[in-house]
Amino acid sequence: MKIMVINGGARAMSRTRELTKAFEQALTKKGVEILPFDVGKDMLPVYTGSEAEMETATVKKLITFAEQADAFIICTPEYHGSMSGALKNALDFLGGKQFKGKPAIIGAAAGGGKGGINALNSLRQVLRGLYTLALPDQIVVDPEHFDENLRLVNQDALERIEAMTDELLRITRCVGRREEAAAK
Ligand SMILES: Cc1cc2nc3c(=O)[nH]c(=O)nc-3n(C[C@H](O)[C@H](O)[C@H](O)COP(=O)(O)O)c2cc1C
């Protein structure tokens, strides 16, 4: 099983990246192959629909990983009450061809208070447009969940990440088995 893990936070000191890493650590413990994509490191052009941009290395990587993935973990910052523009730009290169019928779980890094839900709702809406099976469980992490070295240390958050990852793997296996049975 291959899980594509997308970090939608482009800042150098991104908390979203740390949230993404916590999911990757949970997957590694379970022996799952990770296909990592980071919008702050795998710099994409702005989507224009031109053929030339489809030939760039990062766009090819994005599309190849998404095609190979059996499921997705996607994390976004909440910026101005929505998902990040950088993540939306990445998703604009993709479509139902890569996402249709594949499970996904989502998480957000927010500024505290009641932030984060709007980013998750906007991401969920986009994933619906991509025909993704976005699972109901989701997570928001706030600045207080991190230590001074930017490590995600909040125990409740780490337990939730474990549980969400387990559920993603369970559902992904079920979807895979159904598809195998249907192909027979
Ligand atoms: C441009 C901008 C807009 C933001 N808007 C919100 C917001 O609407 N709601 C919120 O809870 N936090 C907001 N924040 C705080 C971020 O969600 C928070 O800093 C989070 O850590 C961002 O993820 P990142 O560290 O990966 O960039 C905003 C931060 C920036 C830079």
Question: At residue 117, does pLDDT exceed 90?
Answer: yes
Confidence (pLDDT) at 184: 87
The CA–CA distances, whole Å, from 32 to 5, 23, 95, 117 equal: 11, 11, 24, 28
Give the neighbor-by-neighbor strand order of the sheet with 133-141: 33-38, 2-7, 71-77, 103-109, 133-141
| CB atoms closer than 10 angstroms to residue 184 | 4
pLDDT band at 178 (very low <50, low <70, confident <90, very high): confident
DSSP class of 45: P
Separation of CA 42 and ligand 1 centre (Å): 21
Residue nearest to atom 17 of ligand 1 (CA): 110
pLDDT band at 180 (very low <50, low <70, confident <90, very high): confident
115 lines ligand 1 (CB under 6 A): yes
Residue nearest to atom 23 of ligand 1 (CA): 77
The CA–CA distances, whole Å, from 44 to 93, 137, 159 equal: 10, 29, 33
Q: Which positions ≥6 away from 113 have C-beta within 8 Å?
A: none
Yes or no: say if 40 and 7 are a contact pair by the CB < 8 Å rule: yes
16 lines ligand 1 (CB under 6 A): yes
pLDDT band at 177 (very low <50, low <70, confident <90, very high): confident
Yes or no: say if 100 and 131 are a contact pair by the CB < 8 Å rule: yes
The chain-wide mean pLDDT, for the chain, equals 97
8 lines ligand 1 (CB under 6 A): no
Separation of CA 78 and ligand 1 centre (Å): 5
Q: Which domains does the chain have, with CATH numbers?
A: 2-183 (3.40.50.360)
* Distance (Å, whole) CA 34 – CA 132: 18
**What are the tens digits of pLDDT across the range 28-46?**
999 999 999 999 999 999 9
7 lines ligand 1 (CB under 6 A): no
Confidence (pLDDT) at 182: 87
Question: At residue 160, does pLDDT exceed 90?
Answer: yes
109 lines ligand 1 (CB under 6 A): yes
**What are the tens digits of pLDDT across the range 119-157?**
999 999 999 999 999 999 999 999 999 999 999 999 999
Q: For a ligand 1 pocket test, name from 19, 20, 76, 79 the mutation site with the most ligand atoms within 8 angstroms of its C-beta.
A: 79
**What are the tens digits of pLDDT across the range 37-93?**
999 999 999 999 999 999 999 999 999 999 999 999 999 999 999 999 999 999 999
Paired with 106 in beta bridges are: 74, 138
